[in-house]
Structure formats: structure tokens, C-alpha cells
Structure 1
Amino acid sequence: MERRNDTRDAATAPAQPPSEVVHDRFWAQDLRSAIRCAAVLLGLLLLIDWGAGTITALRALLWTTLAVLLFLVLYPTRVSVSEGRLVARGLRGTRRVRTDHLVSVRCLDGVGQRLVLRDSFGARVEIDPRVLVANPPLWHRLDEDARVSARRGSLSCGATALRRVSARIDRETARTVFKVSGLD
């Protein structure tokens, strides 16, 4: 029996048979907000220019370009998680990481926090931790796969970052429960 040499990239090969995919349930809302912000900026700039009597085709093009740039900055990344895989679709393309083969998880602090996930196949994905906080099913799936990576011994650094995200999600969940129950 002859062995066949499979040259597929392990990062794009299915982890296991397809399972339930969990999506960011607020992505469409965030997209609408980005569109509204860009439209309001464009409308205000055109209105001010028109009111001042200085509107020209070139200035309208400049304001439209500015509004489009704002939209591009605000465009949300669409995050989905299934068993063994996290997919982030944004303007720069689609990035995938095998969550059951994580090597590192880092939390980048700064103006906008980012959670950077790397797998043993060299794939890298950056997501906003607020997506996980707002979508507990996404976090649950990611956390389960990160535990699989830790049991396998591939997750060399990232336990602290995962604990911080977990604590943040627990705080937000408790705050929501208190607010809903009137104990706020």
C-alpha cells in the first residue's frame, strides 16, 4: 500500500468534523454603527460647508474621502469560533488560528486592547477582547480549546492572559445578573 504525501497546510485542514459555529452576535450592530458614524460625519461636514457657502466638488470629494476613511477605521472584525478553530474576517482578509493547537496567547495593552492568538502552525489572529466579553458562547468555545492546548503542552505562554479575560468576563456577567435582578 502506497502512502500519499498530503501537502495541505495543517492550519487550514479541518480540526475535526464540522461542529457548531458560534458567531459574534453584535457584529451587524457594530457594522451599522460604523456606517452611521461615517454618514453623520459626512453629513455634518457637507452641511457646514454648504452653510458657509464654500462647498465645491473638490471639497465634497475630500469630505467623502474622510468619511470613508473613518468607516474603514471603525469597520468591525467578524469573529467566529468552532471546535478547534477561530476565524477573524476583516478588511485585511480572513485569518484563522487552530485553537486546539495554541502556542501563545498575549494581551496587548494600549489605546485599543488586542488579544493575540498564535498556533503551532504559525497562524496568528488578533481580536478585541470585548468581542469575547460580549459573547460568552465565543469565550466558552475558545476557553475549552485553550484548555485542550494546555493539556497537550503546546500552550507555552498565555495562561495569565486567559485568566485576565476570564476574570473580566466573570465580572461583566455578574454585573449583568445584578442589573437584571435589580440588585445593582
Structure 2
Amino acid sequence: MAGSGEVANDQDWAQEWWSAVRCAGVPLVLLLLVDWASGHGALWRTALWLALSALLFAVLCPTRISAGPNWLTARRLGREHRIRTDLLISVRCLDGVSPRLLLRDALGGRVEIDPEVLVRNPQLWHRLDEGARKAAAEGMLLCGETALRRLSSRMDRETALGVFRASGLN
């Protein structure tokens, strides 16, 4: 568990970032090699391949999630969104192709994250839950206690499964 002053980070972010770099870089290199081998290499084509590669990277680049005492931050390609977890007023689960968790605070902050990040990083969940409990106790959390309970149940299930796997009881 994170201590009272420690910052918790997404432990898988660097690996996902390098994966996005590879997924954007490999097609770029292959397209440049094909152009070079065919003799059709031109500056405008190279610029086009670079632009397409940069666009692919922008789409695949993961959001970096960090949390500390009473705050949570999501950074993505130069943009940062921060909320105060102890001032949460809304937590919503957005279902769709990729489920998202939308968090809003009383100061107007808004963060949208993938719930899987919380499942893979229990210390991030602990920071969010700690702040959300404060907000609920103070009557600030107007919408989302059900979503937090469902997420808490999922976290408990994943933790129990991890313990069973580690002990060989699975």
C-alpha cells in the first residue's frame, strides 16, 4: 500500500508506451523500406508516412495515471486533467467498446480513465477509494456510490484471485 504521502503511478504505462512506439514505428520503417527498394522514394511520400505514423502513435499512446493524497491525474500527449478525490461529486461508468470511468470534482475537474488501470494497480485504487470515502462521508459525492461499490467488489475479487494464484489454490 502507498504511504500517506506517496504518489502511486500506473506501473504498466512505460510498457504500453513502448508498445505504441513499436506499433507506429514498424509500419513507418516498412513503408520507407518499400519506397526505397522500389525507387519511388520522394520527400512528400516520406512526410506522408511520418504523418501517418505520428497519427497512429497519437491514437495508441496510453494515458498516464498518477494519484496521491486526495488527487488523481491523467496525462496524455501534453494534456493533463486533475481532480480532487476528496471533493468528488460524480463517478459514472461509461459502457461501450472500451469501458471508462468518468470522475468529476466540485472544482470542475474531470478525469476519464480505464477501470482496468485501477484493477492492475491496486495502489491507484487505494488512493481513489480513500478520497471517495472522504467525499461520501462529507456528503459531496452525489452520484456514483453504486459504481464505486461495483468497482470495489471487482477489486476484492481480483485480489482474492491473485492470492489464490500465488498460493497455488487456483
With the length of structure 2 as denominator, give the TM-score of the two structures. Answer: 0.87
Residue aligning to 2:95: 109
Structure 1 unaligned blocks of 5 or more = 1-17
The letter of the residue matching 1:130 is: E
**Deviation of the 1:53 alpha carbon:** 4.7
Determine helix, strand or coil for the equivalent of 2:108: coil
C-alpha distance in 2 between matches for 1:183 and 1:53: 61
Q: How does 1:2-21 map to 2 (within 5 A)?
A: 19-21=5-7
Counterpart of 2:26 (choices 22, 26, 40) is 40
Q: How does 1:139-158 map to 2 (within 5 A)?
A: 139-158=125-144
Counterpart of 1:170 (choices 150, 156, 160) is 156
C-alpha distance in 2 between matches for 1:50 and 1:160: 57
Residue aligning to 2:63: 77
C-alpha distance in 2 between matches for 1:50 and 1:183: 56
**Deviation of the 1:25 alpha carbon:** 1.5
User: How large is the RMSD of aligned CA atoms in angstroms?
Assistant: 2.0
2:20 paired with 1:30:
no
Residue aligning to 2:110: 124
**Deviation of the 1:50 alpha carbon:** 4.1
Structure 2 unaligned blocks of 5 or more = none
Residue aligning to 2:76: 90
The letter of the residue matching 1:124 is: R
2:48 paired with 1:62:
yes
**Deviation of the 1:177 alpha carbon:** 3.1
Counterpart of 2:85 (choices 96, 99, 102) is 99
C-alpha distance in 2 between matches for 1:74 and 1:82: 26
C-alpha distance in 1 between matches for 2:72 and 2:129: 11
CA gap of 1:50–1:110, structure 2 versus 1, over 3 A, is farther
C-alpha distance in 2 between matches for 1:42 and 1:174: 43
Cα offsets for 1:19-42 (capped at 9, x unmatched): 221111221111111111111121
**Deviation of the 1:65 alpha carbon:** 0.9
Alignment length (residue pairs)? 167
Task: State whether residues 74 and 113 of structure 2, in contact with CA within 8 Å, keep that contact through their aligned partners in structure 1.
Answer: yes
**Deviation of the 1:44 alpha carbon:** 2.6
The letter of the residue matching 1:112 is: S
C-alpha distance in 2 between matches for 1:136 and 1:69: 32
With the length of structure 1 as denominator, give the TM-score of the two structures. Answer: 0.81
